Amino acid sequence: MRKSADAFRTISEVAEELDVPKHVLRFWELKFPQIKPMKRGGGRRYYRPEDMALLSGIRELLHAEGYTIKGVQKILKEQGADYAKSFGQFSDDVAAPATKEKSAKARKTARSGLKQRGNSKAVAQQVDRQLLQKMLDELEQCRAILVTVKGTGQSDHTMRTARAS
């Protein structure tokens, strides 16, 4: 029997729906204070629909979008839990009909922001490569000078081929 969207879920049900181990959910509770499942006697956790939406968003940011724990913490701090929820598969389940449209719009805006950030990341990586190549060229020039000064008789070409093998 399937539970309604409004029903509370146990950690086992959440782990199964999100395809995440239970210990990971417990770990996320430590790392993300926004996740606050209701706890009953004996410490049994019950997750509200809002918790499910947030967990789903966090999972998506970590696994699909490639963010680190610190990156998601920063997003939650700066953008808020609703922003993170917009990435999850359960975000529309907990929203009222009027909010669903806003949620879809927020998700679209968020994803376009991530794409722009991804493009700038690629540009930054290209600049880093160019800088590293320039540094490597300077180091090879330094090596050639040292070889000459030291008088080992090894040419720059010999040094390069020895390093490559």
- 102-112: pLDDT as tens digits: 445 555 555 55
Question: Which tokens is 28 given?
Answer: 């996320």
Helix (H, G, I), strand (E, B) or coil at 7: coil
pLDDT > 70? residue 100? no
Which run of H or E residues covers position 149?
Answer: helix 97-150
- Where does the pLDDT of residue 57 fall: very low under 50, low under 70, confident under 90, or very high at 90 and above? very high
Does the pLDDT at position 54 exceed 80?
Answer: yes
pLDDT in tens, 124-149: 566 667 777 888 888 889 888 888 88
Whether residue 62 contacts residue 69, with contact meaning beta carbons closer than 8 Å, is answered with: yes
Q: What is the token pair recorded at 131?
A: 């800088």
> Distance from CA of residue 70 to its chain's centroid?
8
CB 26 within 8 A of CB 19: no
Going from the N-terminus, what domains does the chain have, and what CATH number goes with each?
A: 9-94 (1.10.1660.10)
The residues, ordered by sequence, that sit 6+ positions from 5 with a Cβ below 8 Å of its Cβ are 49, 93, 94
Q: Which residues pair with 34 in a beta bridge?
A: none
| pLDDT at residue 79 is higher than 60 | yes
> In this predicted structure, what is the pLDDT of residue 64?
86
Q: Is the predicted pLDDT of residue 56 greater than 60, yes or no?
A: yes
Out of 35-44, 81-90, 93-102, which region has the weakest mean confidence (pLDDT)? 93-102
Q: What is the mean pLDDT of residues 13-40?
A: 93
Backbone angles phi, psi at 68, to 5 degrees: -90, 170
Write down the pLDDT at residue 159: 55
Q: Which residues contact 122 (CB under 8 A, 6 or more apart)?
A: none
User: Is residue 39's pLDDT more than 60?
Assistant: yes
pTM of the model: 0.56
